[in-house]
Amino acid sequence: MSFIHKYITSKPLWVNILVGLGLILVLVFLFFASLSWLTGYNKYEKVPAVTGQNADAAKQFLESKGFDVVIQDSVYVDTIAKLAVVRQSPEADAMVKSGRTIYLTINRSIAPQVEMPNLAGFSIKSAEMYLQSLGLKLGEISYEADIARNAVLRQLYNGEPIAPGTKIPIGSVISFVLGSGEGGGVINVPNLIGMTYEEARTYLSTMGINIGSVTGMDEIKDSASAFVVRQIPDVLTDSIGPSGMRVPNKIKQGQLIDVYIGTTAPPKGN
């Protein structure tokens, strides 16, 4: 220090000023010359593709290439391996500066759970859409006799009934038992001949049977007050039973009866 002090004091002031300015210029030059080295200026790397790889292996691989790695988020996708990389940002093959941070989204190791809704009474299409909105899958569909055609009667998980509110993993498969549209009981075809259309419709509704096609036999202004003059199926078959009487036709709940209507009531006994 004494040498430097003697050197400075032995020189004129203007010489010291010039020397100081020179040192400053040298330092500034060295700083900017090393700036590109410090910041990696103009050095780019292609981002490798790590989507689908195990998260730990992908992290190690990226770090070996000089990238920083941050696990940014996690999701659940049941079609890929657990703890696999689902997304990366920047994407594969992007050209970025050396040392850039790569953000990874990984697949959860445990599926999140949702509450099973009560889908009884839903149409199959509505029930399937509801399942999809919760991340659940539609399984097998079976039918049993019930007049509620294609409506959900029971919901099953692993072959057993599942109560609403039960927590199950996302991706679980739910099966349904649907109504076939026909009741389990078989009854004789009711006789609608002579009834008004409105009377016939009301009568059939109490039996779980619906009116199918309606055909006018003449010009009808008010179908509700028109008379049923013919029906299909008929009340009786063409077969003769052991008693010598014609055998009654049978029908199930949920089936249809087509009717022909007219403005004039048919003769009694038809």
Top CATH class, 186-262 = alpha beta
Residue 266 has pLDDT above 70, yes or no: yes
**In this structure, which long-range contacts are made by residues 123-129, counting pairs with CB atoms below 8 Å and at least 24 apart in sequence?**
123/150, 123/151, 123/152, 124/150, 124/151, 124/152, 124/176, 124/178, 127/152, 127/176
What is the CB neighbour count within 10 angstroms for residue 86?
18
Q: Which of 189, 187, 186, 176 is nearest to 144 (CA)?
A: 176
Paired residues of 107 in beta bridges:
75
Query: Could you state, in order of their start, the residue ranges of all structural domains in the chain?
Result: 2-30, 44-107, 113-179, 186-262
Mean pLDDT score, 85-114 = 90
Structure confidence at residue 35 (pLDDT) = 54
DSSP 3-state assignment of 30? helix
Assess if CATH 3.30.10.20 describes domain 113-179.
yes
When the candidates are 3.40.50.150, 3.30.10.20, 3.30.565.10, 3.40.50.300, the CATH number that belongs to 44-107 is: 3.30.10.20
Q: Which of 35-44, 150-159, 260-269 has the lowest mean pLDDT?
A: 35-44
Q: Tens of pLDDT along 27-81?
A: 776 666 565 555 555 577 889 999 999 999 999 999 998 899 999 998 888 888 9
pLDDT of residue 178: 92
pTM of the complete model: 0.53
Tell me the average pLDDT of the chain: 85
Q: What is the mean pLDDT of residues 128-150?
A: 90
- 44-107 shares its CATH topology with 186-262: yes
